[in-house]
Amino acid sequence: MLNIAVCVSGGGTNLQAILDGIEQGEITNTRVAAVISNNPGAYALERAENHGIEGVCISPKQFPDRESFNRAFLEKLDSYQVDLVVLAGFLVVLPESMIQKYRNRIINIHPSLIPSFCGTGYYGLKVHEGALARGVKVTGATVHFVDEGTDTGPIILQQPVMVEQEDTPETLQRRVMEQAEWKILPRAIDLIARGKVRVEDGKVVILEQPKRRKL
């Protein structure tokens, strides 16, 4: 059984996709041990409660300095004895000690096709504003392992989404979530739970052939 902790700062739509995936059998051999947020008002914590999952808020604002927060955050995470940490819209920079301790056991969902529109400053609507300003015709989402950089870890899965001429950042954000994020994040977790993902020479190898579509 893969025990996971999901870290969320806001509403938790990707968390809901994970919970739905587990309940519907699309994510196998997995349980959510805890939901952690830096925002006491995050609706994600209510989603956790509704599913009988422990939700906890740990915010940098609760501590005198970042070092104290980092230490408390890691201690709390360790207490759940999780196999995988899922960042599902978590707007907090992880301490390096956590990245080192959980090497290749932290994944993140980013709303673009990395390496486009990623890195420092690209989060939330800013990603989609950047895509529309550049005039790209295809965007999407990426699930990747987390390393010490920003959106630089090994890529696990990507899903493209077409940009429509009348798109606003808000409509594009919604479509990327519906057509990409909510699909590939549960799939990545399931692949990891079934031992189908490994990292070799800084790249992800998926030990499963994709299903062929019928013509």
For the entire predicted model, the pTM comes to: 0.94
The strand pairing partners of 108, in sequence order, are: 87, 144
Strand, coil or helix: 126: helix
Mean pLDDT of the chain: 95
pLDDT in tens, 180-204: 999 999 999 999 999 999 999 999 9
Domains and CATH numbers, the chain: 2-199 (3.40.50.170)
pLDDT in tens, 84-130: 999 999 999 998 999 999 999 999 999 999 999 999 999 999 999 99
Nearest to 93 by CA among 66, 125, 126: 66
Nearest to 186 by CA among 208, 152, 213, 159: 159
Mean pLDDT of 15-32: 98
Catalytic residues: 110
The reported pLDDT for the residue numbered 171 is 98
